[in-house]
Each structure stands twice: as structure tokens, then as C-alpha cells.
Structure 1
């Protein structure tokens, strides 16, 4: 495939995915327990409608939820692509490697310490991603410690160690949550299931700087992910410091995942599925894969959230559970495919 045709395919896929995401956003903001017409939505957005009901529904309930879903999908999709690139393992993602669980454990501990201030006090809300980042960083240190073999990362050991770490951090998270009072325990349980229900603009302000700072760094260095797929002799010949580059990408991924987990809880499989779909659609160049993964992640989370809030209405199913229902069969399919 020529460079021009590959670029054309990339722009087509990216544009189509973003267009579908915008369509899902439109359906989500106009449909629900209280339906609103597109005209009323536009009049409210441009402050041409003085209805307090519309202001409450759109600005306080629906728009923050949609924006959070888009930001979380963007961060998780891109982090999944990067983790699969630096490990050279197509089964790697932040959930399977235990980073999700470690960040979640740190944030549940944060909830336990600073109870009653989450989502309402600006200082605690802004500090949550930092707390999660330290938790995710701890998981990375343990991964590097236990998954190294003969001076490098062994892909099979990485997956096994990641699963073990995820179970361990999950057990600690459960222990901490059981020490909470009933109200905080309920909040932590809903959050751990991967829910973007009742989010607010303060939480958007907490996660947005991490994405704005880290995603450009990842995209600017995307060509180095292609180089990391070369054999060790070739990489040494071009003078690339493999360990330094992997560490930079790992720290960026931990930052993205921790920021997303701090506002949405544990939404798994986005970082696993999005890169596989992206590679099928635009090939193996990471300068194309990363933006498409972000767009696919946005679409997955928005669709999952819309399904969760409508299929069992008036009850709601967390988006994390909806995506897991789809992701588990796909993960099993990938495992069988790698064995062939």
C-alpha cells in the first residue's frame, strides 16, 4: 500500500470514527429519562433558552458525563496502544498488566483517607490522579522487577506477573473498601465497577491537564515505538536507548491511566481492543495507530455508557461492566488466535 493511500485510509477511518462518536454524543445528550429536542439542546448551549430544567439536565448531568466518557476513552485507548508497543505483546494493556488495579487501590485508599470530599472539594479532586499515578508507578516497578529475564522484558512473564499483581492489588482494594463507612463503601463500589455516572466539571478539570500534557508527548515520539519492534542488534545500531524510551512511554501511560481511573474507576479492555481494531484498519505505523486508538476508545466508552444507561432504564449498568461483557469474549478469541 502506498504512503498516499495509507494516509487517505487513516484520515477516512479517523474521520468516520470521530463522526460516529459525535453521533453517539448527540443521541446521549438528547435522549434519556427526560428527552430534549436537538433545537432545545442548541438553544440551551448557546444560552438562548432560559429554562432551568434544560440547564440542569444538559450542563449538570449529561454534558459532564459525555465529556468524561470521551476523555477516558481517549486516554485508555492511547495507553493500550503504547503498552502493546513497548512490550511487543498484543495481549498487553493497563488492566491485564495490573496498572489499573494499582491505580485503583491508591485511589480507594485516597477515598478512605479523604472521605466526604471526593468530587466536591477542588483540592482532593485534583490530587486524586496524582495519588493514582504513584499507585500505577508502583505496579510498573514491580513489573520491571519480576518480569525481567536476561536483561529484558519477557512478554509471557509480563502477562503472568501483571495478572498476579492485578489480583493482589484487587485484594488490597477490597480490604480497604470494607473498612469504609456504608456511604463511602457504596461510592467506592460503584466507582470500581467503572461508572461515569454523576460526574461534574471539576472532575473534568482534574483529568484534562494530564491528557493535554502527555498525549502530545506520546504522539511526538510515536515513531520510536516502531523502532522498539526491531531486534536488539538493529536498535543498538541506530543508537536508540531502549530502556530510556520504554521508561518514558511507561511513565506517560501510567499518568494517562491513573488520571482516567481517578474519574471513571476501572474500565477494562478498552486499551486491549482498540489497538487491535486500529491495526486492522490503518496498519502498523504508530503515528497512525495512536490517534485512531484514541478515537476508537472514545467511541467504545460513549457507546458502552449509552447502552448501560438505556437498556436497563430506569436502572443503570456501569460502562465498565458493559465493555467487559464485550471484552472478555474478545480477549479469549485473541488468546486462541495467538496459540495458532
Structure 2
């Protein structure tokens, strides 16, 4: 049984990785400046490098692909953790207001430091995730404050509170952005739509510490997420410090979401769709769900970004909008299914 499960998970991860690399390949070779396979190979291997090919691949397309993969991986894992902690299959960082809280904090950072800090400079790039974490923590604190009933998080209240929190933070974000000068406002609006347009290697480097540390912490404690599917009294009876473990998981999720929002804006529904896909493919064990959710999130973001920048070319549709077009019907489907 264990070998069968391991083989199935390995197969799913291999197929998911192939899909990710396929999406990356098409993103690298397609666009306003098309490249052949040989051009791409020569450029990546530095064989007879051409300045225009180097510029397109290493300065524009490759950092965008790598950043999209990291963001999708983070959001997929964060969604799986939040659904596991809350025992609610409709929970998602965007729906719960964590995206909105992180987004509000980053827009506030743009407003407070407009003109004094370059957003793509090292200082701006390093400070934005910190502001995002503070905003995400504010949203999480509000969830704890209003969604708890008799000392526990109520799954039904969670969705309602999350929608209210997202609306409140969204209103503050819009108010602050309207106070910006026209150039900063335009940048904030594009960023809030969930865009990888401004991707660069600095953003990628900023994401790496979060990606290398937090998913590992989550995966090593994945067995606790399995226990959380029992009643809270049963989990406490097994000797698990429920509140401590919840805090660890939520802090890791907030960190992943906030870092993602800081570099790409708010890309919703990835944390909702990816864990559902993972559970359908590899079952209910979180040791398997977490990596598969990460790979599924990578595929969703990369495919969404490819669709957004090619179908409407020369115009470009933000990846957050493309994913939302897919995610909203899927969310409605899940709502209908849970009522049956």
C-alpha cells in the first residue's frame, strides 16, 4: 500500500513538473520576439550568445517565469495549509482576506515612500515583503478575533469574516492608492491586479529565503495537519498543542502569501484550486498534498501568465485576472457541491 501511494505521488509530481517545464518553454520561446528551440538552447548554454537573445531571455522572460513558479508554489502550499488548519475546503488566502491585508500594507509602503525609495531597488525589494507580512498578520489577527466561537475557529464564520476583512482592506487600499500621484497610482493598479510584468532577479532573490525555509517547516509538520481533520478535543487528547501548532502553520502561510503578494500583487484562487487538485490526485494525506499543491500552483500561475501575455497580444492581461476568470466558476462549483 505504501509503495503504491509513493508511486502514485511520484507519478503525479513528475507529470506536474513536465507541465511546468512545458509552460516555461512556451513562455520562453513565444511572444513579440519569437525564438526557435536552437536559439533558446544556445542562449541558455551561452553558445555564440546574441545580445538581443540574452536581453529577452535573461532580463525579461526567465526572471518572470522563475518568479511565477515561486509565487505559484507558495500560494499552492499556503492554500493547502489554511484548508487543513480550518478544516474548510473553501478557505483560501484571498477569500480569507490575507491577500488583501498584505496588499494593503504594500500599497501603503508605496504611498509612504513614493519618490524616496525605488520600488525595484534593493531597499524597496527587501522592505516590501516585511510590510506584506505585517498586513497579512493584521488580517490573520482579525480572523482570530471575529471568526472564533467558543474558543475555536468556526469554518462557516471563517468565510463570512474573510470576505468582510477582504472588503475592508480593499477599501483602504483603494483610498490610499487614490492619494498617490498618477504614475505611482498606475503602478499600484497594475500590481494589485496580480501581474508578473515587473519581474526581475531581485524579486526572485527576495522570494528564495521564504521558499527555502517555510515550506520545509510545513512539510515536516504535515502529520499534524492530518490530525487537525479530527475534532479539536480528539487532537488535544492525542497530546497535540493545538493553538501552538495552528499558530505555526498560520504564520508560515502568512509569510508565504505576504512574500508572494509583495512581488506579484494579489493572485487569487491559486490557493483554492491547487489543494483541491492535489486531494483529487493523491488523497487526503498532507505529506503528499503539500508538494503536489505547490507544483499545481506553479502550473496554474505559469499557464495563466502565458495565456495573459499571448492571447491578447500585443496587449497583456495580468495573470491574476486570468486565474480569477478560471477560479470564480470553480469556487461557485465548490459552493454548490458542498451544499449537496
TM range (shorter): over 0.9
Cα contact 1:119–1:200 (8 A) shared by 2 = no
Q: How does 1:204-223 map to 2 (within 5 A)?
A: 204-223=204-223
Pair 1:32-2:26 in alignment? no
Cα contact 1:119–1:203 (8 A) shared by 2 = no
Q: How does 1:243-282 map to 2 (within 5 A)?
A: 243-282=243-282
Q: How many residues align structurally?
A: 339
- Aligned match of 2:100: 101
- Aligned match of 2:20: 21
Pair 1:229-2:226 in alignment? no
- Aligned match of 1:201: 201
Structure 2 residue runs without a partner (length 5+): none
1:233 and 1:286 map into 2 onto residues whose CA distance is 20
SS in 1 for 2:13: helix
Shift of 1:51: 1.2
- Aligned match of 2:80: 81
What do the CA deviations read for 1:258-297 (whole angstroms, capped 9, x no partner)? 0000011010000001111110100000000000000000
Structure 1 residue runs without a partner (length 5+): none
Cα contact 1:80–1:93 (8 A) shared by 2 = yes
Shift of 1:118: 4.2
What do the CA deviations read for 1:147-187 (whole angstroms, capped 9, x no partner)? 11011010011110010000000000000000000000000
The TM-score with structure 2 as length reference comes to 0.98
SS in 2 for 1:245: helix
CA RMSD of aligned residues (A): 0.9
The TM-score with structure 1 as length reference comes to 0.98
1:169 and 1:235 map into 2 onto residues whose CA distance is 34
- Aligned match of 2:155: 155
What do the CA deviations read for 1:19-54 (whole angstroms, capped 9, x no partner)? 111011011101111111121112112222331101
Shift of 1:114: 1.9
